[in-house]
């Protein structure tokens, strides 16, 4: 008796000859194999296409048509290597599997050392100029105005000295999405990194005003699609940090599908910065942010492949600054107020009326500025004593800062000990619990491992399976320039990493300086012209 299932019920049927059963089984097997064979060519064709495009990028000779430089906030080599620091096998778990695959096939920079201080804007300026902060002038995320009463972000490109990669690429096209210090830069396609002067307006309104019209329209269309999923949402709340990263990837995909083909692409993905600050370095939330960024990276590669642009592309994925966990904030300006070196504005609990010495925080470090040598000496003696008493920080001499290319206007620096951060407040206790769970801001001259980020380079013109134990952030721009045949300034501080290149193009002969570059050293005057800013003593 043979039993079978018929629409959920078990029924019986008459005995069937065993030879007939075998024949029917063989028939069903053959049909299944035929069905698989019919479906296989499409799937295999897609897989083969991807493999061929990647092989072409890795093996074909010559320089790339385009270089894509992507910065990921807080990216470290541990995010794409295995727990032992080795390149992850294809079947091994990794926080960022797509980037781990690129690391297997390309060049890995295990420890890339950003400039001092470990500020995101400083690091990004170094990545595109090959200069440290003293050379390009972007000395922090925010600058101090001449009166010391306002903190002004380094949004405007006029504040950056030297030739940037986008200046060298004029005539060949450049795309910049969210890259710092690009407001007013000579970039063909740009969405600069800037926040609205009026927070009630929302980010998109500012982006539309400052961006290339084509990209502004694309962002508006993406926003409309995202907001359509939640009709009750306030449009000014778009985008969240993850939505902004996804929007930049989508814009890049649309550029890849258009007739535009810039030689230089700069994309900043930074949702992980806020996640590290709120939830902590190494938190589940930060890991989820890295996963989303990795998925976006995979989507961008698929877009380039679909448009036939992957095979002649070189890709650099690099961290900006390293984040570390903190539990306590030390407020050096509180001590300076008590000593009479800072005068508070009586109309504000956080404002500055006048100052002789003032500390400006970068997270885990700070620069101390002074009006004169006597004030600097008094501030240093006071802060050295507080550092010894609290065990929360140490003083970094000016000579050491100068060697690392830090802000030459600083009289000395402060470096927080592990677990501590440095704040900007003027009132309250000297030590307070940290509201943020992690901070960037390490110094180049102290414990390089604590500031190191990671790098992966892949594609046309990049050597495969190369491992670079330590490299400098200033080396990235000269390396990209060598691949594209661009000319940077003759006095850049970095060098092209010849050991990771399969191709290099000689730069063109020297030409005229870019408009606005090296037109004067009065940065304070430029900042005052820009206006805006925030109260000095406010939260970062």
Q: Please tell me whether residues 316 and 332 are part of one structural domain.
A: no
Domain annotation covers residue 18: no
Q: Please tell me whether residues 247 and 396 are part of one structural domain.
A: no
- The stretch 197-213 carries a mean pLDDT of 91
Residue 15 confidence (pLDDT):
44
pLDDT band of 494, cuts 50, 70, 90: very high
| Residue 380: count of CB within 10 angstroms of its CB | 19
**Mean pLDDT score of the chain, rounded to an integer?**
86
Percent of the chain predicted with pLDDT > 90: 73
Domain annotation covers residue 156: yes
DSSP state for residue 234 in the 8-state scheme: -
- The stretch 483-497 carries a mean pLDDT of 95
- Is residue 39 pLDDT above 60, yes or no? no
Label each residue of 270-338 as H, E or C: CHHHHHHHHHCCCCHHHHHHHHHHHHHHHHHHHHHHHCCCCCCEEEEEEECCCCEEEEEEECHHHHHHH
pLDDT digits (tens, 9 = 90+) for 268-281: 999 999 999 999 99
Alpha helices in 229-270, H assignment, sequence order: 241-256
Lowest mean pLDDT among 145-154, 316-325, 443-452, 479-488: 145-154
| Residue 184: count of CB within 10 angstroms of its CB | 15
Query: Mapping DSSP to helix (H, G, I), strand (E, B) and coil, where does residue 387 land?
Result: helix
Tell me which of 439, 472, 498 is where a domain ends: 439
Q: Is 114 left (phi over 0), alpha (psi -120 to 50) or beta?
A: beta
CATH number at residue 489: 3.40.720.10
Query: Is the preceding peptide bond at 460 cis, omega within 30 degrees of 0?
Result: no
Number of independent structural domains in the chain? 2
Q: 34-54: buried (b, 16+ CB within 10 Å) or exposed (e) per residue? A: eeeeeeeeeeeeeeeeeeebb
Domain annotation covers residue 300: yes
- Is residue 5 pLDDT above 80, yes or no? no
Q: Please tell me whether residues 422 and 522 are part of one structural domain.
A: no
Q: Please tell me whether residues 283 and 176 are part of one structural domain.
A: yes
pLDDT digits (tens, 9 = 90+) for 14-34: 444 445 444 444 444 444 444
| Residue 186: count of CB within 10 angstroms of its CB | 16
- The stretch 361-381 carries a mean pLDDT of 96
Percent of the chain predicted with pLDDT > 70: 83
Which residues is 13 bridged to in the sheet? 2
CATH number at residue 384: 3.30.1360
Q: Please tell me whether residues 349 and 295 are part of one structural domain.
A: no
Q: Tell me the two tokens of residue 214.
A: 């084509």
Give, in order, the Cα–Cα distances in Å from 26 to each of 18, 21, 29, 33, 40. Answer: 12, 9, 5, 11, 21
Of residues 529 and 206, which shows the higher confidence score?
Answer: 206
Q: Please tell me whether residues 339 and 434 are part of one structural domain.
A: yes
Lowest mean pLDDT among 35-49, 202-216, 404-418: 35-49
- The stretch 488-498 carries a mean pLDDT of 95
Round to whole Å and give the CA distance between 106 and 100.
10
pLDDT digits (tens, 9 = 90+) for 282-302: 999 999 999 999 999 999 999
- The stretch 197-222 carries a mean pLDDT of 93
Q: Please tell me whether residues 166 and 237 are part of one structural domain.
A: yes
Tell me which of 416, 439, 462 is where a domain ends: 439
Residue 18 confidence (pLDDT):
46
Query: Mapping DSSP to helix (H, G, I), strand (E, B) and coil, where does residue 42 land?
Result: helix
Q: Please tell me whether residues 275 and 348 are part of one structural domain.
A: no
Q: Please tell me whether residues 361 and 222 are part of one structural domain.
A: no
Query: Could you tell me the pTM of the whole model?
Result: 0.86
Domain annotation covers residue 23: no
Domain annotation covers residue 139: yes
Tell me which of 398, 417, 439 is where a domain ends: 439
Round to whole Å and give the CA distance between 301 and 253.
9
Q: Please tell me whether residues 236 and 355 are part of one structural domain.
A: no
- Is residue 376 pLDDT above 60, yes or no? yes
Domain annotation covers residue 513: yes
Round to whole Å and give the CA distance between 233 and 385.
52
pLDDT band of 504, cuts 50, 70, 90: confident
Domain annotation covers residue 22: no
- Max mean pLDDT among 52-56, 125-129, 510-514 falls in 125-129
Q: Please tell me whether residues 260 and 350 are part of one structural domain.
A: no
Q: Please tell me whether residues 155 and 226 are part of one structural domain.
A: yes
| CA within 13 Å, CB half, 280 | 8
Give, in order, the Cα–Cα distances in Å from 428 to each of 75, 330, 401, 537. Answer: 34, 11, 29, 12
DSSP string, 408-456: TT-SEEEEEPTEEEE---SSS-SEEE-SSSEE----TTS-GGGT-EEEE
- The stretch 137-146 carries a mean pLDDT of 83
pLDDT band of 51, cuts 50, 70, 90: confident
Domain annotation covers residue 111: yes
> What residue numbers bound the domain in which 415 lies?
327-439
pLDDT band of 199, cuts 50, 70, 90: confident
- The stretch 305-329 carries a mean pLDDT of 97
- Is residue 227 pLDDT above 90, yes or no? yes
- The stretch 115-132 carries a mean pLDDT of 96
Residue 6 confidence (pLDDT):
37
pLDDT digits (tens, 9 = 90+) for 409-457: 999 999 999 999 999 999 999 999 999 999 999 998 887 888 999 999 9
Label each residue of 205-217 as H, E or C: HHHHHHCCHHHHH
């Amino acid at each position: 008796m043979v039993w079978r299932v018929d629409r959920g019920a078990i029924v019986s049927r008459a005995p069937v000859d065993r030879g007939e059963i075998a024949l029917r089984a063989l028939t069903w097997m053959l049909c299944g194999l035929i069905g698989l064979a019919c479906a296989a060519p499409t799937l295999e064709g897609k897989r083969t296409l991807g493999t061929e495009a990647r092989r072409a990028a890795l093996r074909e000779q010559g320089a790339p048509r385009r270089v894509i430089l992507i910065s990921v906030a807080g990216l470290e080599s541990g995010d794409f290597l295995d727990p032992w620091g080795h390149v992850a096998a294809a079947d091994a778990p990794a926080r960022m599997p797509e980037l781990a695959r690129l690391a297997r096939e390309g060049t890995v920079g295990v420890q890339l050392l950003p400039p001092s201080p470990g500020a995101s804007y400083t690091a990004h300026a170094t990545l595109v100029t090959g200069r440290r902060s003293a050379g390009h002038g972007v000395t922090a995320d925010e600058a101090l105005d001449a009166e010391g009463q306002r903190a002004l972000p380094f949004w405007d490109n006029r504040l950056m000295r030297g030739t940037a990669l986008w200046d060298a690429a004029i005539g060949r096209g450049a795309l910049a999405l969210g890259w710092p210090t690009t407001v007013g830069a000579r970039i063909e396609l740009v969405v600069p990194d800037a926040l609205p002067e009026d927070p009630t307006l929302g980010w998109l309104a500012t982006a539309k005003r400052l961006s290339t019209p084509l990209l502004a329209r694309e962002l508006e269309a993406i926003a409309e699609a995202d907001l359509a999923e939640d009709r009750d949402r306030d449009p000014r709340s778009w985008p969240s940090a993850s939505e902004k990263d996804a929007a930049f990837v989508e814009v890049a995909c649309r550029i890849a599908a258009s007739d535009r083909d810039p030689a230089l692409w700069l994309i900043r993905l930074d949702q992980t910065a806020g996640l590290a600050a709120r939830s902590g370095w190494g938190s589940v939330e930060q890991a989820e942010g890295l996963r989303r960024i990795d998925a976006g990276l995979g989507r961008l590669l698929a877009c380039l492949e679909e448009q036939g642009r992957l095979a002649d592309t070189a890709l650099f994925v690099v961290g900006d600054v390293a984040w570390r966990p903190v539990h306590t904030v030390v407020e050096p300006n509180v001590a300076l107020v008590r000593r009479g070196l800072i005068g508070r504005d009586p109309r504000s609990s956080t404002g500055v009326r006048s100052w002789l010495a003032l500390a400006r925080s970068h997270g885990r470090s700070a620069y101390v500025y002074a009006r004169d040598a006597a004030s600097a000496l008094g501030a240093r003696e006071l802060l050295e004593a507080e550092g010894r008493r609290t065990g929360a920080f140490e003083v970094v001499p000016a000579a050491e800062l100068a060697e690392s290319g830090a802000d030459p206007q600083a009289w000395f620096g402060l470096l927080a000990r592990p677990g501590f951060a440095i704040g900007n407040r003027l009132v309250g206790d000297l030590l307070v619990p940290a509201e943020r769970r992690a901070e960037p801001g390490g110094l180049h001259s102290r414990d390089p491992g604590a500031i190191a980020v990671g790098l992966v380079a892949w594609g046309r013109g990049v050597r495969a399976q190369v491992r670079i134990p330590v490299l400098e952030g200033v080396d990235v721009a000269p390396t990209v320039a060598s691949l594209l045949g661009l000319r940077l300034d003759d006095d850049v501080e970095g060098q092209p990493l010849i050991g990771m290149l399969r191709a290099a193009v000689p730069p063109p002969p020297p030409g005229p300086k870019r408009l606005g570059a090296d037109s004067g050293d009065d940065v304070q005057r430029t900042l005052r012209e820009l206006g805006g800013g925030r109260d000095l003593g406010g939260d970062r």
